[in-house]
A and B are shown apart, each in its own frame.
Chain A
């Protein structure tokens, strides 16, 4: 049984002028201890996916269709009290900006103890012992003193470490990290990622890492989902996707990486921008920006199908890759 199984997840936002679809039939699986990256441009629906998994969409957003099975249990229709037992306990989330995720008027200790007490019957002293242990695990110096401090007394990197310690408090099976380092200094980013990877590996915790940095994904994850305009357009093992991307959009993303560009040369950006949710083309959502688009791309949305070593949603993928693959096999 897989840890997480998402089928045809569709999320809509109820707007004044009708519903918009933010997630369109998203399906994927996550095995126990597996690390999955979700990449895509801003607005692709990555965070919405993360919040849906926690069943934390706030209105006007709602899950319109599909199922999310977490350890065999459907969580889409779970009563709120039951869902609360899962959140922070078996499935925990790291938010993007540590400067605003911790409550400014509660001490670190209070925020850690309350999390433990929400899920376990513990005395305050016992809870504090666990908190101190977890703070040590994320290399926070003098953890006893930290418990008394307020968030504003700590640096951004330190705060994100504390958020990670809070996530670890109840030894979850799945961690969802939504761009955990974008708000931090570049020098600290690598440290935090390394820490996260180390913790996930040692405790065999499943990780969903949301980011737009393909470089990070390649270091951190086993598998990758590429999202575009609320859909998964390519999914597969991270290595395959980085080395041999099938979808023209993924290829564009990889070509735009600084490593792929000779020094002094301009980064190769994909021309155009992602359509807004209210104006998604009726065929392939990427078609207006795609150099290989044909009539069928303009009229019919592509199904996601197995191709080469990955799954990809593109009508023209055979034509695109045929010469290269023939060359390889010959």
Chain B
């Protein structure tokens, strides 16, 4: 177990290293930091001096090592626009994004399992066929279109739900304000969460359905029937556990991916999270912020993947973690 853990952590560090390299390469090639810092009016001599002072004339390796060293100390540069450490800017926006991802995950988990199981055990029911048809539509419509349609119907049309912002949030601690503490907050997070879930949810329904149907054909399910086990126990104890094992792995990766999908959702709903911030940073060519965003998102991605792998090892009795580590 320990060996496996150490191995996975080393892999994660390797991936983070590559991400940092990419981040640095972007910073190195995107825009001129001097122009952002001092504007046009400064003479060439002063510029050269500043360059030397900032270490911009150093070799690539030297600059990269410095970048990495700073990053390890939590210094990902200073945002040109906010004049604040880039990491601080992002961390302030992080809770809003994580709450959105959490809302979408909640929707996916709560709906995909019952819908996937239902369509698998009653493949010919009209409701199953409707769900499968709807899932195809859900997958093929881009997130921003779904979001705009939802605003059009539920905000503009019926006026049921607010169309932008986080609404009335409740302060928890630090930079964390939550949408989940009062009705107004909840009303604001419903549509963005559904929009964010709109691609993953149908994907998961189909994935669970396909896995479940395969499991239902297996010998051990047939054997459970031959033992006289009740159908609901066969579905939810014998089949579902075997169905969800592979789904967990895919699922964890997808949650990581959803952090990136938030860019679109947050922009449409003016959700003050880091995806919205990222798009603004791109518009302003705020290079340190862009790079910091990439590194933070990469970090979240790597952490979720590692955790998911470890959980998979824990819940699946046939995966011997000790052996995997060897």
Using CB atoms and an 8 Å cutoff, list the residues of chain A in contact with chain B: 54, 56, 58, 84-89, 92-93, 95, 97, 100-106, 114-115, 118-119, 150, 152, 166
The answer to whether residues A118 and B229 also contact, given A95-B222, A100-B218 and a CB cut-off of 8 A, is yes
Task: Give the chain B neighbours of A97 by CB distance below 8 A.
Answer: 219
Task: Give the chain B neighbours of A95 by CB distance below 8 A.
Answer: 219, 222-223, 226
Using CB atoms and an 8 Å cutoff, list the residues of chain B in contact with chain A: 218-220, 222-230, 233, 237-238, 241-242, 245, 316-318
Question: What separation, in Å, do the CA atoms of A144 and B316 have in the docked complex?
Answer: 22
Asked if A103 and B228 sit within 8 Å, CB to CB, the answer is no
Asked if B225 and A56 sit within 8 Å, CB to CB, the answer is yes
Asked if B318 and A152 sit within 8 Å, CB to CB, the answer is yes
Task: Give the chain A neighbours of B238 by CB distance below 8 A.
Answer: 103, 106
Asked if A104 and B317 sit within 8 Å, CB to CB, the answer is yes
Question: Shortest 9 CB-CB distances between A and B: which pairs?
Answer: A88-B228, A88-B227, A87-B228, A100-B219, A103-B220, A150-B317, A101-B223, A93-B226, A115-B227
Question: What separation, in Å, do the CA atoms of A58 and B217 have in the docked complex?
Answer: 9
Total number of residue pairs linking A and B with CB closer than 8 Å: 72
Contact residues of B: prevailing secondary structure = helix
When C-beta atoms are compared, the residue in chain A nearest to B233 turns out to be: A114
Task: Give the chain A neighbours of B317 by CB distance below 8 A.
Answer: 104-105, 150, 152
CB distance from A183 to the nearest CB of B (A): 11
Asked if B227 and A87 sit within 8 Å, CB to CB, the answer is yes
CB<8 Å pairs between A and B, sample of 26: A84-B229, A87-B227, A88-B227, A88-B228, A92-B226, A95-B219, A100-B220, A101-B219, A101-B223, A102-B220, A102-B223, A103-B220, A103-B238, A104-B242, A105-B245, A105-B316, A114-B227, A114-B229, A114-B233, A114-B237, A115-B228, A118-B227, A118-B228, A118-B229, A119-B228, A152-B318
Question: What separation, in Å, do the CA atoms of A150 and B320 have in the docked complex?
Answer: 12
The 8 Å CB contact of A86, one of B224, B228, B229, is B228
CB distance from A269 to the nearest CB of B (A): 30
Question: What separation, in Å, do the CA atoms of A266 and B39 have in the docked complex?
Answer: 96
CB distance from A178 to the nearest CB of B (A): 10
Question: What separation, in Å, do the CA atoms of A97 and B219 have in the docked complex?
Answer: 9
Question: What separation, in Å, do the CA atoms of A280 and B56 have in the docked complex?
Answer: 85
CB distance from B80 to the nearest CB of A (A): 53
Question: What separation, in Å, do the CA atoms of A106 and B236 have in the docked complex?
Answer: 12
Task: Give the chain B neighbours of A150 by CB distance below 8 A.
Answer: 317-318
Question: What separation, in Å, do the CA atoms of A152 and B323 have in the docked complex?
Answer: 14
Question: What separation, in Å, do the CA atoms of A119 and B227 have in the docked complex?
Answer: 9
Question: What separation, in Å, do the CA atoms of A58 and B233 have in the docked complex?
Answer: 18
Asked if A54 and B226 sit within 8 Å, CB to CB, the answer is yes
The answer to whether residues A85 and B226 also contact, given A103-B242, A105-B241 and a CB cut-off of 8 A, is no
